[in-house]
Structure 1
Amino acid sequence: MAPRLISVTTFRIADTDAAVAGCESLTCKLVEVVTNPSVVTGLMLTGLAALIALSYVRDATGKCRREKRRVLDERDAFSEFADRVAALDLGSVPSLTPDSGGPVRRFHRTTESGKPVSITLQRVISIYRETVMSVTHYEREYDETVSESLTAELGPDTVMSLAANKNLSPPAQNALVSRSREAADARDSLADAIEVELDALADVESELSTIDRRRRRLISHLDEVNVDETGAALDIWHQLNDLEIETEKVATERQRSLRNSPMQIDTGIVDTGEMAFYDYLYGSTDGPSHPVLAQIADLTAEIRDNRDHVATQIANGD
């Protein structure tokens, strides 16, 4: 779900738990970020030369791409709403019309029956429904009334002013246009931040794929080593150990990025601090809340399993 603006400056997102706050030791903490602990255990039981699918990272990439598309759709909707409201000529239409209920009544349930309602206000509500509330994911993700959505996105003072006056005055028109454009700009910034995360995921996938290919080549080479050539097996063991160190470096860099996210988000609900951006992206998904660290945990487990197998072969002279 895309973050929501409260009074234009504060994002409203789902309340989720930060999974890696306070994590200090890479080797002892990596597995803890996996939502389902059985995942790593199951992976360790697979074949020695099995390809790590990097499914967590690839699922995260797909999630980010979909979210960026939704955010851009919302940006375009707010931009269109702002343009259409700005184009309204307040002096070219009859100022008042009887309140017949419908969207206006639902917009503010405390409206006094029969009190005159500005036809331009009705147009504003219709435009909002045709733009912001018409994005394809709106009903599925938000399912709000016009009043609830306007309050969340453009501020409760805007809604209260429109509902109380039942008219779109020039100052109210300017406020609607200004805040809608701010909402569009905020989503533009959010889309840029998601793109930064997409670039980071692409880099991580490349790094982990390279490490995994080298791991598989080492295990394949082990099968070709003469059982009497213990030195060659020892060399493979050391190279596997080096690969684990490389995965820890990738984890270190990822943890650093988690604490320097491309966008700071204030949820307006709880203090999720520096992890809020990643909670927004991954916290409500079925998979791990930190997919990169979960992927590294998988690969690290596989490398260790391989290394233990080589050590056993060396010890047994197999």
Structure 2
Amino acid sequence: MSVYTGSAAVFQIPDQEVAAGCTNVWCELGALVTEPGAITAVALVGVLAMLAFAYVRDAEAACRSERRRVLDGRDAFESFAARVAEMDTVPVAMDSTPSGVPAGAFGGIGSGGSGIPPGGGPAGGDVTLRRVLAAYDDTVLSLSHYREEYDETATESLAAELGPDAATALATDGGLSSGAQSALVNRSRHAADARERLAGAIDEELDELADRETDISGKDRRRRRLLAHVEGVRSGHETDAAIDVWNRLAELERECDELAADRQRSLDDPPLTPALDDDHERTFYGYLYGSTDGPRYPVLAQVAELADRIRADRDGVGTRIAADR
């Protein structure tokens, strides 16, 4: 998996270059004075800087938008099911196939923009068919994102959403049979239920994002308080305070690693997993974030950005300690 790691310039105190027997903080910090510009680069880079948390907040906005679309789709299919359930049916001669599809159902589908076969068939069936397609057009196809994302006729969309046999059964001379009506109603309700479950999964992700943002913002506040503390200490205790902050920033960086590992575990256990999902693809998160401008794993990207900031601040504190030595 490719995870955003923020800036590439990350300073690490080289453990292998520490002299044998060197165990105190002064010995570790001694390496800093050999870095180019170390003596002059004593400003703390993050005292006034606060992370924008753009990745997580953009992810929240994307989830809220998608949730609204999903719920609109749920409502549309519920409305379509209700309208079809109220329609009068027409008697249709049935063939002997197990599916119970009306005889002649495979003729004429998709031959026109509406999916109505040429000639229209008996007047009653033609009227019923037009009412079904009009109801679908007024409900499901009236959703703005359907118009924007799909270039489909009513029968093409109905076949994709409710099954090709459902659309095929409508494109007959016989119109809407009681069997076709029952299938359309049941499948529309199933489509609505599926969207309800999907909306619930998105709600879980929104809760997760809110919790992670709280964790990350809390760590960022601690980072800024530590840096402000270093800046405010006087009376000859500046170096001791800086060493303490330097160590606390290292602890904060370890907490970021733990937060990232925890999110990784969440990614491996999504709130909704398609039946044919490949665990390595994390389909649910690709569905939510794959088409956005931001990273596919926004929480990990945000944690990485904070960890980069903490490392940079710790470098600045370490440089100040080395310069004051």
TM-score (norm 2): 0.77
Q: Which runs of 4+ in 1 moved over 6 A?
A: none
What are the equivalent positions in structure 2 for 1:81-96 lying under 5 Å apart?
A: 81-90=80-89
Q: What corresponds to 1:205 in structure 2?
A: 213
Identity across aligned pairs (percent)?
Answer: 50
Between 46-55 and 170-179, report the one with greater CA deviation: 46-55
Establish whether residue 129 from structure 1 lines up as the match of residue 127 from structure 2.
no
Is contact 2:73-2:195 (8 Å) kept? Answer: yes
Measure the CA separation in 1 of the matches of 2:231 and 2:56.
Answer: 30
Structure 2: tracts of 5 or more residues without a match? 12-43, 92-107
Greater radius of gyration (CA): 2
When the two chains are superposed, the root-mean-square deviation of aligned CA atoms in Å is: 2.7
What are the equivalent positions in structure 2 for 1:275-286 lying under 5 Å apart?
A: 275-286=282-293
Measure the CA separation in 2 of the matches of 1:242 and 1:260.
Answer: 28
Establish whether residue 152 from structure 1 lines up as the match of residue 160 from structure 2.
yes
Corresponding letter in the other structure for 2:89:
L
Measure the CA separation in 2 of the matches of 1:163 and 1:220.
Answer: 73
Offset at residue 246 of structure 1 (A): 1.2
Q: What corresponds to 2:324 in structure 1?
A: 317
Offset at residue 273 of structure 1 (A): 5.1
What are the equivalent positions in structure 2 for 1:1-318 lying under 5 Å apart?
A: 20=1, 32-34=2-4, 40=7, 47-49=45-47, 50-90=49-89, 105-108=112-115, 111-113=117-119, 115-116=121-122, 118-165=126-173, 167-226=175-234, 229-266=238-275, 271=278, 275-317=282-324
Q: For residues 229 and 88 of structure 1, do their structure 2 counterparts lie closer, same or farther at Cα, with a shift above 3 Å needed?
A: same
Between 170-179 and 219-228, report the one with greater CA deviation: 219-228
Is contact 2:10-2:311 (8 Å) kept? Answer: no
TM-score (norm 1): 0.78
Q: For residues 263 and 274 of structure 1, do their structure 2 counterparts lie closer, same or farther at Cα, with a shift above 3 Å needed?
A: farther
Offset at residue 40 of structure 1 (A): 3.3
1:158-189 Cα shifts (integer Å, max 9, x gaps): 11222245511100000000000000000000
Q: For residues 43 and 75 of structure 1, do their structure 2 counterparts lie closer, same or farther at Cα, with a shift above 3 Å needed?
A: farther
Q: For residues 173 and 273 of structure 1, do their structure 2 counterparts lie closer, same or farther at Cα, with a shift above 3 Å needed?
A: farther
Measure the CA separation in 1 of the matches of 2:298 and 2:152.
Answer: 31
Structure 1: tracts of 5 or more residues without a match? 1-19, 21-31, 93-100
Between 238-247 and 174-183, report the one with greater CA deviation: 238-247
Offset at residue 230 of structure 1 (A): 2.3
Offset at residue 151 of structure 1 (A): 1.5
1:69-99 Cα shifts (integer Å, max 9, x gaps): 110000000000000000112269xxxxxxx
